[in-house]
Structure 1
Amino acid sequence: MDRLDAIRLFVRLVECGSFSAVGREAGIGQPAVSKQIVALERHLGAQLVLRTSRQVVITETGQTFYESAKQLVDDFDALESSVGERQQSPRGVIRINTAPAHGRLWVTPLLPEFLRRYPDVAVELSVSERQVDMVGEGVDLAIRHGRLVDSSLTARKLSETDFILAASPGYLAARGVPTRLAELDRHACIVFAKGRERRPWSFKVGQETVSYVPHGSVLTGDAEHIRAAVLCGLGVAQAPFWLLANEIRSGEVQVLMPELQPERLPVHLVYPAGRRIPMRVRVFIDYLVEAFERPEAPPLRAKKIRHVAS
C-alpha cells in the first residue's frame, strides 16, 4: 500500500461521500478504493469509515484524521507543483465547461492570447446550460453563474454580473416603454424556461426582492435564443448584462427600469476539490482572473453603460 495514495483516497472519500465517485475520479474501481481504505485503517489501527448498504459514515476518529490528512495532501501537492514548475512548461488538454452563449461571447475571444503564451496547451470547450458532473465527465474547470451549492468544488470568484431588463428600440416604439413593474403585464415577455417551467424574474423593490412570472409567446432554455429574440423585437427579457452588452453599447438594445435591478449574481471558476491542480489548469485560472480584472474586461456590469431607457 502506498500510504500517501491511500490517504489521498480517504480525503476524497470524506469530501465526496461515495466510494464509486472516488473511484471514477481516480480512474480505479470501487473495490480497489475500498481495499486501500481498509489497508489504511489496518495500518493506523483505527476505524475511519462505517460502511452501510446506503451510505458512507465517517467515524469521529476518521473526521479528526481527515483534518490533518487534508493539510498533508495540500502541502505535498503544493511542494510537488512548485518543483515541477521549475522543470517544465504547461502542456496538455484543459477541459472547460461553460454556458454556450457566455463561452462564445466572452471566453473564446480570450483564447488566442492564452494559446500564444502557452503553445503546448490545448483547450477543449464543453458547452451546456446544465451543471455538469465535473468528475464523472472529466471536466477540469467550469464557469458557473449564480450562487454555488456544490460543496465538493473549489471556487475562485471572477466577478459579479447584473441582471437587466431589456428590449429593442423597435419593440418599445411599437408597444411603449414600461416604467413600473405592473406594466409588464401588458407586454410580450421572452421567457427562459426548462421544459414548460417558466423561470421567474427577480426585482428589487425597496428592501424586498420580488418575483414576477413572465408571460409571452416565446419560451426557450437557451440564452442565445433569448438574445436573438430581443434583437428581433419579440419582446422584453430579463437577462445577464453580458448577454446583450455589445448591443446595449451600440443602442440596439435599451435597458429598462434599472432602479428595479436585483442583486448582482457572482461568477465563479470552479474545479474539483482535493486533487492536485495540473499546471496547465492553474495557469488558465490565473489568466482568466487577470483577463476579467483588466479595464477592457468582458462586460458584466450595467454600471459601465451611461445611457439607459427609463
Structure 2
Amino acid sequence: MDRTLEMSVFTAVVDAGSFVGAVDALRMSKAAVSRHVDSLEQRLGVRLLQRTTRRLSLTEEGRLFYQRSKEILVSLDDAESEVTSRTQEPSGLIRVNVPLTFGIMHLAPLWGAFMETHPQVDLDITLNDRVVDLVDEGYDLAVRISILPDSSLVCRKLAATEMLACASPGYLSRHGIPAHPKELAAHRVVAYSHLAGRDEWKFEGPDGEVVVRTRARVYSNNGDTCRAIGLRDGGIILQPSFMIGEDLKRGDLVRILPDYRSVELGIYAVYPSRKQLPIKVRRLVDFLSDAFLKPAWAVTHSRSQA
C-alpha cells in the first residue's frame, strides 16, 4: 500500500471533518477512503480516529500522526515545486508591493530584465510605505525593509542596509564635524518622523551603546525629503545606505561618526506561505536574490572628511 496516499487520505478526512467531506476533496468513493484509513490503522496497530454516527474525532495517537503527516506532505510539496520550477515556464500575473523610494531607486531598473527573461509573466507593482496585508489585499509578494520581518509570513533576506549619519560638506564646514554622538544634541537635525525612537538616535561604538536625544529642525515622513534638505546644507540626517550610498561616493554627503554604527535593517522578500508557492513567485524571489548579491549601495566604513 502507498504510504503517502494513506497519509493524504487520512489528513483529508481530518481536514474535512468527515469521510463524506474527504470523498469530495479527493474525488474517491467513500469505500476507497474508508479502505485507506482502515489499512493505515491496521499497519500502524493503533486507532487514529474515533467514529460515531454523529462525529469524528482524533485519538491522541491520531493527533500526533496527523501533525507529522501534514509536515511530511508539505515537505513533499515543497520538494516537487522546487524541482518543477526549474523546468516549467512561469506564467500569469504577480501582484507585488514594494517601498516607495527603494522601489524607484533599486527595483524599477530590474523589472524589465525579469519580464524579458520570463515573457509569460505579467507584473502589477504597487509602491507605498504602508505595511500591507498580503492575504487580505491579494498580494503575491512584498519587499519589506525592517529589523525583523512579520513572523506570520515566510521571508527570504535579499540584502541589508545600514542607517548612516551624514551631512553635506557645506553644513559641516560651517558647523563643525561631531566627534561623538552626544554632540549631535547641539546640531541641526533633519529627522525621519517614522524612525523608531523618533528623537532618540542610538549608536554602538567603542564605549558601547550611546543614546542621544536630538532636536530636529525639520521632521518628515519621507526619507527623500530628508535627503534633499541634507544635500542643501540643511542639517544632519540619518538615512539608509541604499538611499544615500551614491551621494556618499560622489562626496555630496559626508558620513560622520564612522566609529559608531547605527541600526542595520534587513531587506526581505515576504510572501504568505511556502506551501505550493507558485513557480512565477519563486522565480521572482530567486531573481531578486541574485540581483542583490552585491548591493550597489554598499559603502566603506572609512573616516569622514569635510
Question: TM-score normalised to the size of structure 1?
Answer: 0.74
Aligned positions of 1:86-235 closer than 5 A: 86=87, 88-194=88-194, 198=198, 200-206=200-206, 208-235=208-235
The alignment status of 1:309 with 2:305, answered yes or no, reads yes
The alignment status of 1:66 with 2:67, answered yes or no, reads yes
CA contact (8 A) 1:171 1:234 kept: yes
32, 35, 39: which one aligns with 2:18 = 39
Unaligned runs of 5+ in 2: 1-6, 23-47, 52-59
Match of 1:239 in 2: 239
Q: CA deviation at 1:289?
A: 1.1
- Residue 292 of structure 2 aligns to a residue in which SS? helix
Q: CA deviation at 1:62?
A: 4.4
Q: Which amino acid aligns with 1:45?
A: L
Q: CA RMSD in A?
A: 3.3
Question: TM-score normalised to the size of structure 2?
Answer: 0.75
Change (3 A) 1:253 1:40: farther
Q: Which amino acid aligns with 2:272?
A: P
Change (3 A) 1:195 1:162: closer
Q: Which amino acid aligns with 2:204?
A: K
Cα distance between partner residues in 1 of 2:63 and 2:207: 45
Query: Which whole-Å deviations, capped at 9, do the CAs of 1:108-138 have from their partners, x for residues lacking one?
Result: 1122221211122222222232322111111
Cα distance between partner residues in 2 of 1:212 and 1:46: 64
Cα distance between partner residues in 2 of 1:270 and 1:72: 22
Q: CA deviation at 1:82?
A: 3.5
Change (3 A) 1:186 1:63: farther
Q: Which amino acid aligns with 1:302?
A: V
After alignment, is 243-252 or 155-164 more displaced? 155-164
Match of 2:29 in 1: none
Q: CA deviation at 1:191?
A: 1.2
What is the percentage of aligned positions where both structures have the same residue?
27
Match of 1:282 in 2: 282
After alignment, is 246-255 or 206-215 more displaced? 206-215
Cα distance between partner residues in 2 of 1:267 and 1:129: 13
After alignment, is 147-156 or 158-167 more displaced? 147-156
Q: How many residues align?
A: 266
Change (3 A) 1:158 1:195: closer
Query: Which whole-Å deviations, capped at 9, do the CAs of 1:180-215 have from their partners, x for residues lacking one?
Result: 212111111111214998263220133633333332
CA contact (8 A) 2:171 2:234 kept: yes
CA contact (8 A) 1:6 1:37 kept: no
Change (3 A) 1:122 1:212: farther
Change (3 A) 1:46 1:199: farther
Unaligned runs of 5+ in 1: 11-35, 48-58
CA contact (8 A) 2:149 2:155 kept: no
Query: Which whole-Å deviations, capped at 9, do the CAs of 1:54-108 have from their partners, x for residues lacking one?
Result: xxxxx9964662343032023135325644754x421122222221111111111
Cα distance between partner residues in 1 of 2:50 and 2:225: 57
